[in-house]
Structure formats: C-alpha cells, structure tokens
C-alpha cells in the first residue's frame, strides 16, 4: 500500500495576524503623535475605535514601544517648530500634538523642551517663584490648575523662551494663535473673552517677573520692563436665560433619570431639588456642588456659606424660600454634601444634556446651571436690582447688569405696560 505523501503543502506567503496588528499599532501611534484624534486614527487604519482600543489593550508592550518611537520624533518636531509660523498651520492639531508629547515626556520624568542653563523661562518662573511667593495660600486646586494649563499652552505654542527674550511681538503672536483656535461650538473660534482670559494668566505671571511697584511688591525684578500686548476687543452677548416653560418640562422629566445613585435619595428628587435651589438662589455651579448640610440652618431657612466656598472669598448668608426648603428636605439624609455627585463635572454636563433631551428640548435650547443663574439675575433685577446684585454676590451692580441680566426681557415687559396716548391706542 502506497504511503500518503507527507510533504507539506506550500501555501502563499501572508503576513500573520500579529504582523498586521503590529503595523496598525505603529501607524496608529504615528497618527496620534501627529495630533490626529482617535476617531480619525481608527478611520485611517480601516478599523473601529473599539478595535483600535482593543489592539492597544491586548498588546501593551508593543504599543508602548510604538508610542515611544513616535513621541520621540514628535517631541523633536515641537522643539524645532514651537514659536514659528508652523504652529498656525493647524492650531488645534498642534495643541493635540504638544499636549500628548508633553504628557509622554512628563510620564518619563523628562521635559518637553530642553532647558538652557542659567536662562529662566516663564513656565520655570511660575513654578519656582510665582507659586510660592505670589499665589495666595488659600488658592483652590482648580485655580492653580487654570494657571498650570495656561502656562503649559504658552510653552506649547511659543517654545517657552527665556524671560528676557519675550517681547511684545512674542505676545502678539501668541494672541493671534489663540484667536485662531477652535471654540466650543463646531466651526467656531475662541471668543475674545476666552482669548483675554488665557492671556491674563500669562500676563499676570509675567508681571511678577518685572520690577516692583504699586500693587506689585512681590515681583521678582528679573525684567526691567514687562512686555505688553493689546487685548482683543471684548464682545458681550446678551445673556441666555431659560424660560419658565423650559424649566418646567425639565423638572417634570427628572423622574426618568437613573443617576446619581445616592443611598436614601430618589434620583428624580435629587434633580428637582438641584433645579429649584439653583433657580431660587442663583448660586454658582461650584458652590452648589460644595454645599454641605452643615451650612443649612433649617430653623431660619438660610445657608451660611463660608468664604472658601465662594469665588469672591466673602462669606454669604443665602435665604431659602419655601420651594427651595421643601425640595432640600425631600433629599435630606446624613451624607455630607447636599448635591453629592460621585462622578466628574464633565459627566454631569453629559447627563444634564440627556435629561433635557428626555424632556423634549432641542439641542439649541439646552441650558446649563450658569444659564439658570442668569435667569435668576434677570428675574430679580425686574423686582429689585440691588437684590440681584446681592444674591449673585457681585461687588458692583455693573457686573450683574452687563453679564447676567438679559435687558431685552426686562425692556419688553416694561414696554407692554407703557401707557399709550389715546390716539395711539385707538388708531389702526
């Protein structure tokens, strides 16, 4: 009997599944390092974002090597081009590139930019001097993080030059870069107000590197003159307020919510209490989420807010009317925080939008807690302008009027009551 031919059947050469995955990881690391989003990277690789995530999770060592090689190259690109016109080609992509390279370098205990001996940069000055000598000791972590982020972005765009090499032109170029950055809405740019805020952090630190003077006694005196830049003209849009009908439908849809899950508290009651207290006090979002039951005096119906809970750093006594008190009592337990939110604030915004979708509001009509604050300010201003100013905790009523009160709502209501001459009223 003839033996079966045991010679191996030759098959065409094909790359293994692992080899394909490795190529995808290499290319994916390069694209991410070049500032592409995860979605754009997955589309370029011909896979879903979930598949791309699975590749990285299943091959962590290969991914780490690919990422290191890609980030080394990106860091060199950033070092060579920060402060040049290259950053203007695609500001958003540049910021993503720099942010990822910065995080990668920080995780390795390295700096994004090479340090030159003896030359103090703005970022170095902030960390070595400003934080210890100029920052108020009771500054919140959130306040410090805003400075840190502003200074990091300054470095990503300008290359963090030495203090003595920062000129008016350097600041102008940075301002122009910010004005080209993307805003919150698709297709929009940063508002002049956002650009001004970002510049203020940089200028505030830079001023402390200059000479000592009036209200600048803690300056380091490293610069004989502080560079200057003209701010973009601020554009004040009419405040967006929420109609009673919109508040009502969202209030009624609260029973559809499934988070937050807090022991002893019905989820719908939590959301209804948040809406009612926010509207009837005009408190800021941060203050609302930091309210504790120990701040509440149920007998007098008042909140005793300590200075550290308020932006103004001035303690405030907040009166709670009947609706606010009833809703607070409906969610009272022995927990510390009244509006306990065991997730991130970004997640709160996502869930709040979900509630408004469930309530039937179109996306253009969605609002945030700050819009409720402006709504309260407008309603109170119609009753008593000083009450609006005091409720919002503003030192001057001009701030309340310019940024929080929607004048159109007040003027239209007043015009409807304007006495008309008999001839006007009877004419067709």
What pLDDT is recorded for position 396?
Answer: 77
Which region among 219-228, 318-327, 390-399 has the lowest average model confidence (pLDDT)? 390-399
Whether 36 and 44 have beta carbons less than 8 Å apart is answered as yes
Q: Looking at per-residue confidence, does 115 or 369 come out higher?
A: 369
Rounded Cα–Cα distance for residues 307 and 164 (Å): 39
Q: Which helix (H) or strand (E) holds 369?
A: helix 369-383
Which region among 81-85, 119-123, 138-142 has the lowest average model confidence (pLDDT)? 138-142
Which region among 24-33, 41-50, 108-117 has the lowest average model confidence (pLDDT)? 108-117
What pLDDT is recorded for position 387?
Answer: 86
Rounded Cα–Cα distance for residues 269 and 272 (Å): 5
What pLDDT is recorded for position 11?
Answer: 52
**pLDDT one-digit tens code per residue, 160-209:** 999 999 999 999 999 999 999 998 777 889 989 899 999 999 999 999 99
Mean pLDDT of 323-347: 94
As a whole number, the mean pLDDT across the chain is: 90
Mean pLDDT of 361-378: 94
In 10 A of CB 371, how many CB atoms?
16
Q: Is the pLDDT of residue 46 over 60?
A: yes
Band (104; pLDDT cuts 50, 70, 90): very high
Mean pLDDT of 240-260: 95
Q: Looking at per-residue confidence, does 287 or 396 come out higher?
A: 287
Q: Is the pLDDT of residue 293 over 80?
A: yes
Rounded Cα–Cα distance for residues 75 and 426 (Å): 76
Q: Is the pLDDT of residue 65 over 50?
A: yes
Mean pLDDT of 18-29: 90
Query: What is the full DSSP assignment across 333-364?
Result: -S-SBTT---S-HHHHHHHHHHHHHHTT--GG
What pLDDT is recorded for position 124?
Answer: 94
Rounded Cα–Cα distance for residues 275 and 285 (Å): 11
What pLDDT is recorded for position 395?
Answer: 74
What pLDDT is recorded for position 16?
Answer: 58
Band (428; pLDDT cuts 50, 70, 90): low
Task: Return phi, psi of residue 330, to 5°.
Answer: -70, -15
Determine the 3-state secondary structure of 117 from DSSP.
coil
What pLDDT is recorded for position 178?
Answer: 96
Q: Is the pLDDT of residue 4 over 70?
A: no
Q: Is the pLDDT of residue 15 over 90?
A: no
Residue 330: beta bridge partners? Answer: none
Whether 338 and 262 have beta carbons less than 8 Å apart is answered as no
Q: Looking at per-residue confidence, does 425 or 409 come out higher?
A: 409
**pLDDT one-digit tens code per residue, 341-362:** 999 888 999 999 999 999 999 9
Q: Chain centroid to CA 333: how far?
A: 31
In 10 A of CB 41, how many CB atoms?
21
Q: Is the pLDDT of residue 5 over 70?
A: no
E strands, 177-326, in order = 296-297, 302-305, 316-319
What pLDDT is recorded for position 363?
Answer: 93
Q: Which two tokens stand for residue 404?
A: 């929080």
**Helix ranges restricted to H, 34-137:** 38-45, 49-58, 60-81, 91-107, 122-125
Rounded Cα–Cα distance for residues 101 and 175 (Å): 23
Band (427; pLDDT cuts 50, 70, 90): low
Task: Return phi, psi of residue 122, to 5°.
Answer: -65, -40
Task: Return phi, psi of residue 117, to 5°.
Answer: -60, 130
What pLDDT is recorded for position 1?
Answer: 46
Band (7; pLDDT cuts 50, 70, 90): low
Q: Chain centroid to CA 87: how far?
A: 22
**pLDDT one-digit tens code per residue, 381-412:** 998 888 888 888 887 777 787 777 887 778 87
CB environment 275-306: b (16+ within 10 A), e (fewer): bbbbbbbbbbbebbbbbbeebbeeeeeebebe
């Amino acid at each position: 009997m003839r033996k079966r031919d045991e010679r191996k059947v030759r098959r065409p050469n094909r790359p293994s599944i692992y080899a394909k995955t490795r190529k995808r990881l290499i290319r994916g690391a390069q694209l991410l390092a070049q500032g592409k989003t995860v979605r754009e990277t997955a589309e370029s690789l011909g896979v879903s974002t979930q598949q791309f995530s699975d590749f990285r999770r299943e091959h962590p060592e290969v991914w780490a090597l690919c990422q290191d090689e890609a980030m080394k190259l990106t860091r060199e690109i950033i070092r060579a081009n920060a402060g040049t016109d290259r950053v203007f080609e695609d500001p958003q992509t540049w910021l993503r590139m720099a942010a990822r390279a910065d995080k990668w370098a920080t995780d390795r205990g390295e700096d994004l930019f090479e340090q030159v001996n003896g030359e103090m940069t703005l970022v170095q000055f902030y960390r070595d001097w400003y934080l210890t000598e100029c920052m108020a000791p009771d500054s919140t972590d959130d306040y410090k993080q805003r400075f840190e982020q502003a200074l990091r972005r300054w470095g990503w765009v300008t290359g963090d030059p030495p203090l003595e090499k920062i000129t008016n032109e350097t600041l102008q170029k940075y301002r122009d870069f910010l004005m080209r950055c993307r805003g919150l809405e698709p297709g929009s740019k940063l508002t002049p107000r956002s650009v001004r805020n970002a510049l203020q952090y940089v200028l505030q630190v830079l001023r402390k590197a200059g000479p000592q003077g009036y209200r600048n006694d803690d300056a380091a005196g490293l610069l004989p003159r502080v560079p200057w830049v003209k701010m973009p003209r601020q554009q004040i849009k009419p405040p967006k307020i929420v109609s009673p009908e919109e508040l009502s439908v969202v209030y009624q849809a609260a029973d559809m919510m499934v988070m937050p899950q807090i022991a002893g508290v019905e989820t719908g009651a939590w959301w209804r209490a948040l809406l009612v207290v926010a509207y009837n006090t005009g408190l800021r979002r941060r203050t609302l989420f930091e309210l504790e039951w120990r701040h509440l005096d149920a007998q007098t119906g008042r909140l005793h807010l300590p200075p550290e809970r308020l932006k103004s750093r001035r303690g405030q006594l907040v009166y709670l009317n009947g609706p606010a008190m009833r809703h607070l009592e409906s969610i009272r337990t022995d927990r510390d925080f009244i509006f306990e939110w065991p997730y991130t604030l970004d997640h709160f915004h996502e869930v709040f939008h979900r509630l408004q979708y469930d309530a039937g509001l179109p996306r253009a009509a969605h609002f945030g807690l700050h819009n409720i604050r402006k709504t309260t300010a407008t309603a109170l201003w119609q009753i008593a302008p000083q009450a609006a100013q005091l409720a919002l905790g503003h030192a001057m009523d001009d701030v309340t009027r310019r940024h929080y009160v929607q004048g159109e709502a007040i003027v239209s209501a007043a015009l409807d009551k304007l006495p008309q001459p008999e001839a006007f009223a009877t004419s067709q």
